[in-house]
Amino acid sequence: MHPVRKQRLMIVIFIVVFSSIAVGLMAYALRENINLFYPPSKIASGDVPHNTRIRAGGCVKPGSVQRSDSSLEIHFLITDGIADVKVNFNGILPDLFAEGEAAVINGVVTESGEINASEVLAKHDENYTPPEVAEAMKDKGEHQKTCEGLKYGA
């Protein structure tokens, strides 16, 4: 083999190996930072991996918000009209957070099916409903676009 060809072949092999290692390291680093979105009905049915960081969205069930008197701890239920999931959060809630309004929760699902939230986000306008919640509402036969239209079962 000619020395110039051999040098080019070594450069190409080096680039391929280096690129493969770089892509592999990036995929390994990002696997912990991926947040998958789940509606409350999937969480309640157990289709969600436990002790993995997820994003959940739904409506805050009216009458479910319980605030601690001595700390920033708060417990509430989120629903998609099919199932309710308990959320535990310790921190300051956004100003737009309210009962009957949409919320997006970043956190970890425990073995008992509750969410230990690290972040709670409130909706930013009156017409937004997460796509999964809208689908669940449509499947249930409810056509309202806001969380106030959800009918809660007893």
Label residue 53 exposed, middle or buried (CB < 10 Å: 0-12, 13-18, 19+): middle
Task: Report percent pLDDT > 70 for the chain.
Answer: 79
81 pLDDT more than 50: yes
Is the pTM higher than 0.85?
no
Res 46: pLDDT: 85
Highest mean pLDDT among 8-17, 103-112, 117-126, 137-146 belongs to 8-17
pLDDT digits (tens, 9 = 90+) for 44-65: 888 888 888 888 888 888 888 9
pLDDT digits (tens, 9 = 90+) for 110-121: 988 899 999 998
Q: What is the mean pLDDT of the chain?
A: 82
Round to whole Å and give the CA distance between 48 and 95.
29
pLDDT (mean) for 73-90: 91
* Chain-centre distance for alpha carbon 52: 10
Q: And the tokens for 124?
A: 């930013």
43 pLDDT more than 70: yes
Give me the CATH topology for the region 36-149. OB fold (Dihydrolipoamide Acetyltransferase, E2P) (2.40.50)
DSSP 46: T
H/E segment holding residue 131: helix 131-140
